[in-house]
Amino acid sequence: MIETPPSFAATPDIDRGGDLLADMLRSIRLSGSVFLNASLTEPFGLISPKHFDERTPMAHLRHVSIFHLIAAGECTVELASGERGTIAAGDVLLMPFADTHRFYSGDGAELCSAMELVRAGPLSGMWTIEHGGGGRETRMVCGFIESSELLHSPVFRTLPPMLIDRAGDDKVSAVLATTVREILSLTEDATPGSEIMLGRLMELLFVEVLRRYAAGLPPSAHGWFAALNDPVLGRAMWHVHGNPGHRWTVDDLARECGTSRTVLAERFNEVLGQAPIEYVTSWRMQLAAERMRTGADSLAVIASDVGYDSEAAFNRAFKRVTGIAPGRWRDGAKSAKPYPAPMRRG
Per-residue pLDDT reduced to its tens digit, 328-346:
888 876 555 433 333 333 3
Q: Residue 137: pLDDT band by 50, 70, 90 thresholds?
A: very high
Q: Residue 150: pLDDT band by 50, 70, 90 thresholds?
A: low
Tell me what the mean pLDDT of segment 158-171 comes to.
82
Mean pLDDT value across the chain: 82
Domain extent for 60? 20-215
CB atoms near residue 192 (< 10 Å):
8
Q: Where are the alpha helices (DSSP H) in the chain?
A: 20-28, 114-117, 154-157, 171-189, 194-215, 224-228, 231-242, 250-257, 261-267, 276-294, 299-305, 311-322, 326-335
Is the predicted pLDDT of residue 8 greater than 60, yes or no? no
What is the per-residue pLDDT for 62? 58
**Residue 224 included in any domain:** no
Is the predicted pLDDT of residue 307 greater than 50, yes or no? yes
Among residues 163, 181, 215, the one where a domain terminates is: 215
pTM: 0.79
- Residue that wins the pLDDT comparison between 342 and 61: 61
pLDDT in tens, 87-108: 998 899 999 887 889 999 999 8
* Torsion angle of C-alpha atoms 30, 57, 152, 343, degrees rounded to 10: -160
Q: Residue 12: pLDDT band by 50, 70, 90 thresholds?
A: very low
**Residue 320 included in any domain:** yes
96 and 146 assigned to the same domain: yes
Q: Residue 259: pLDDT band by 50, 70, 90 thresholds?
A: very high
CB 54 within 8 A of CB 74: no
**Residue 144 included in any domain:** yes
32 and 158 assigned to the same domain: yes
Task: Residue 273: give its domain's CATH number.
Answer: 1.10.10.60
Among residues 182, 215, 248, the one where a domain terminates is: 215
Number of domains present in the structure of the chain: 2
Is the predicted pLDDT of residue 4 greater than 80, yes or no? no
298 and 322 assigned to the same domain: yes
The rounded distance, in Å, linking the Cα atoms of 315 and 174 is: 46
What is the per-residue pLDDT for 148? 66
